[in-house]
Amino acid sequence: MRSTATPADLPLLMRAQQRRQRWLLALLGLAALAALLLNLSLGSLPIPLTDWWHGLNPLQSQVIWSLRLPRALLALQVGAGLAVCGVVLQILFHNPVAEPGLVGISGGASLLAVAAIFVAMQWGLPLPPWGTSLAAFCGALLVTAGLLWLSRRAGLIGARLLLLGVAVGILSGALTTWLLYFSDDQSLRAIMFWMMGSLAYGQAQPVYWWLPYLLCLGWLLSQHRQLALLQLGELQAQLLGLELAPVRRRFILAVALLSGMTVALAGLIGFIGLVVPHLLRLLGRGEPAFLLPASALGGGGLLLLADLLSRSLLASGELPVGVVTASLGAPLFIYLLVRRHAEPV
């Protein structure tokens, strides 16, 4: 016989659920830490963990502190930001497949970055590493400003705003294809490698570039109460005193900042913001208070593993990390969708 919980049992059930969530967060944190240690230890120059205890030689210290650690921290931050953006967008649009690339922000950032590379190659202009990043960031801000302006001017909210973002992404992809068509071999190779995603771009940028990124990420992680109200539905959120329009604009602007900085410093990296929140929801724990930090840890750990694979699969070079995340994420997501659909109701 199935037991039913009484109102007196609710505090016990809530405490038990909180304990399970804390254990899962601890496991995700340990997994991210293990992925970080693997990134620091493995590569073209293996550095066993035993050498860490006995002391590193000058070459090993230079490899870890100058090359691997900055790249690993970059992967951790980018993965966390993409996963958190996915959580926020899925709650805002009440769509479990929403992610930063779906609302057109990544497409706009990619378009201006590709345009900057194309113009520099065609006219023989020097393009520093920060030039592509700045162009991508400006593209993300322009798309976001356009979306916010249209949402206020035409009253687009919810699903209509999502469809508008999809249309902007399609238009950005079409214009990018035109630029690719008229590019020469040298510029085409540079553009395609950037569009496939690479953490090497972020390593060339100053450290202070990440300060606004981290501040915005921290702000989103602290907004779980407002996201929990939005998760109940627009009507319930309004009845509980939440002002939908300004709250939605702030969240979209924050997601644009994170997505734009990610595209600017690492190129196009897909499926992190889609797969990680979905995997955590399949565990039956979809509260924003848990989902936001768990997605940050899971996204950072997943991108660390993808970066390790991108550096290790080819002995003569490096695979774009965006290709690795797509190759891993797409089959996994298809399997999860088919399995969930096949389960009896």
Please classify residue 115 by burial: count the beta carbons closer than 10 Å to its beta carbon, then call 0-12 exposed, 13-18 middle and 19+ buried. Answer: middle
Cβ–Cβ under 8 Å, residues 111 and 139:
yes
Residue 244 pLDDT > 80: no
Tokens standing for residue 237: 């959120």
Amino acid at position 75, single letter: A
pTM for this prediction = 0.85
Report the range out of 8-17, 268-277, 334-343 with the highest average pLDDT.
Answer: 268-277
Residue the block writes with tokens 């214009």: 175
**pLDDT value at position 344?**
45
Q: From 117, 89, 114, select the one nearest 104 (Cα to Cα).
A: 89
pLDDT in tens, 179-207: 888 877 777 777 777 777 778 766 556 66
Name the most confidently modeled range: 55-69, 76-90, 246-260, 265-279. 76-90
Which residues have a Cβ under 8 Å from the Cβ of 16 and sit 6 or more positions away? Answer: none
CB 26 within 8 A of CB 20: no
- Regarding predicted confidence, which is higher, 284 or 268? 268
Q: CA distances (Å), 125 to each of 116, 121, 231, 295, 316, in order?
A: 10, 7, 49, 41, 30
Segment 76-100, tens digit of pLDDT:
999 999 999 989 988 887 777 777 7
**Does residue 345 surpass a pLDDT of 50?**
no
pLDDT score of 297 more than 90: yes
Distance CA 191, CA 195 (A): 6
Instruction: Tell me which of 24-33, 62-71, 305-314, 315-324 is least confident.
Output: 315-324
On average, the pLDDT of the chain sits at 79
Q: Pick the residue with more confidence: 127 or 73?
A: 73
Q: What's the pLDDT band for 299 if we cut at 50, 70, 90?
A: very high
Are the C-beta atoms of 168 and 104 separated by less than 8 Å? yes
b/e string for 284-312 if b means 16 or more Cβ within 10 A? eebebebbbbbbbbbbbbbbbbbbbbbbe
* pLDDT digits 0-9 by tens, 2-38: 445 555 555 665 676 677 778 888 899 999 999 999 9
The alpha-helical segments, DSSP class H, found in the chain are: 10-41, 49-54, 58-62, 69-92, 105-123, 129-154, 158-181, 185-195, 200-203, 210-221, 224-231, 234-239, 244-266, 272-282, 288-312, 321-342
**Whose structure tokens read 């490698």?**
193
